[in-house]
Amino acid sequence: MTEQQALYKYCLRLGDNALVQSYRLSEWCSNAPTLEEDLALTNFALDMTGRAQALLAYAGEVDGNGKTDDDLAYRRGEREFYNHLINEQPNGDFAHTIARLLYTSTYEYLFYTELMHSADERLASIAAKVVKESRYHMTHANDWAMRLGNGTEESQGRMQAAIDGLWMFTGEMFETDAADALLRDKNIAVDLGKIKIKWMERITEMVKLAGLKMPQGSYMQTGGLKGIHTEYLGHILTEMQYLQRAYPDATW
């Protein structure tokens, strides 16, 4: 693997995480428990779409085959996506969406804070923008975790079930492959080992504040780094890529 190939894959992974999250968050449009929350979640979807655009455009440039952000978003198949599996999981109830946001936004906040110091200037500048959004997403997730965890018996039960249910997808966020190793040596990629410790501290603290118990499961599902996904991704792509696939000659 060359540095160029590693960087391409790294950008795809980050871009795909944003793209798939943007899809799931958009599904909340007209479906949230309050109008304010409808706007908040679709606003996060908008942040994620912008993030995907920046990262996939850069991936295309790194690859050098003239592929645009849209080509990469709309013309790749299931096995060529490298997002973390947690991002493609269905929204479930509101507690599930908040639990997923809690896990991922905390991760992203820590990740992009580190990536701001990347030796790759382009990634560092994207990270500087993303970290502000992630901080906001994380605050929002924390606020709701507090309300749901300390709210009613029902909300506490749902929130506990949500953090437990998604736990098996959290391990994968800290997995690395050859691309990470190569880019770590060049000070381009983030040290995920370091992030993992901080992430665990923050989540443990937040779960406690929310009056919940840390999930106990030890099984961690993996596969995203190799492009092996849960069954949900195929459906996401089927819907998301529909127009581009059905009218390949059209420009939108």
The site for another protein (CB under 8 A) is made up of: 22-23, 26-27, 29-39, 42-43, 45-46, 49-50, 52-53, 56, 69-70, 73-74, 93-94, 146-148, 150-152, 154-155, 158, 239-240, 242-244, 247, 249-252
Closer residue to another protein in complex, CB, 32/168:
32
DSSP state at residue 132: H
Closer residue to another protein in complex, CB, 52/179:
52
Per the rule left: phi > 0, alpha: psi between -120 and 50, beta: everything else, 53 is alpha
Closer residue to another protein in complex, CB, 191/239:
239
Asked whether the beta carbons of 125 and 112 are under 8 A apart, the reply is: no
Closer residue to another protein in complex, CB, 6/229:
229
Nearest partner of 214 among 222, 203, 223, 224, judged by Cα: 203
State the nearest-atom distance from the C-beta of 159 to another protein, in Å: 9
Q: What is the DSSP string of 207-244?
A: HHHTT------------GGGT---THHHHHHHHHTHHH
State the nearest-atom distance from the C-beta of 197 to another protein, in Å: 30
State the nearest-atom distance from the C-beta of 137 to another protein, in Å: 15
State the nearest-atom distance from the C-beta of 19 to another protein, in Å: 8
Cα 67 to Cα 14, 49, 61, distances in angstroms: 17, 18, 7
State the nearest-atom distance from the C-beta of 242 to another protein, in Å: 5
Encoding tokens for residue 84?
A: 């973390």
Closer residue to another protein in complex, CB, 92/171:
92
**How many helices (H) does the chain have, and how many strands (E)?**
11, 0
